[in-house]
Amino acid sequence: MGTHHDKAFPNESAAYRAARDGLLEAERGLRRQMEEVAALRRELPLGGEAKDYEFQSAQGPVTLSGLFEGGKDTLLLYGFMFAPGGSPCPLCTAFLDSLNGAAPHISQRVNLTITAKASVAELNAYAEKRGWNNLRLVSWGGTSYGRDYFTEDGEDEQQPVMNVFVKKDGAVRHFWGSELLLVGDAGMHPRHLDTLWPLWAAFDLTPEGRGTDWFPATSYD
């Protein structure tokens, strides 16, 4: 199949169509590259065995292995930037607003949990305020999970890292983490979960783009 088609929008110019066809070729290349990267990710060997951390939930203590439910052997565990007594991260909040809507679909195939250092009471109060009715939230406070899996650095600074774990042969093993945050890239913003985040994808379709100084807020009152 070619990269061009025979359709046109009303009143478009030849210059517009030529530029759009060039962009269409780049878009097709990007889609292919995304598929190639996803294939490389799937080929990763399993990482190291994880401790069976004891998190705190609204229902009481729950271990890392206990977060695997419904016969599903994969767990997405997102590190929410929310320290005890602190303010929740606005960027994480916007991300979780989106993830809350997608969670019922995601959970058909894999387990999904959100974890933060903040207490269970703080997490649940904020979740109720945001209307996060589809997200499972647990506190890793009191464990070394945050430091072990890069959701907190040595100076108690919170980091928004998505980690993927797999349960196999009775053990929980690490599979993947969103490490782009750690390596940096000259001239690039450290956002590293864009493929999971509809907000930026929507802005990428517009003439204004993402902008350089706009970030989501927790309220627009």
pLDDT in tens, 146-194: 999 999 987 789 999 999 999 999 999 999 999 988 887 777 776 788 8
Residues paired with residue 60 on neighbouring β-strands, in sequence order: 57
- pTM (2 d.p.): 0.92
Phi, psi of 33 (to 5 degrees): -65, -40
Strand ranges (E), the chain: 54-57, 60-63, 74-79, 111-116, 137-139, 162-168, 171-177
In this prediction, residues 106-112 reach a mean pLDDT of: 97
pLDDT of residue 193: 87
The domain 54-177 is classified under which CATH number: 3.30.310.80, 3.40.30.10, 3.40.50.880, 3.40.50.740? 3.40.30.10
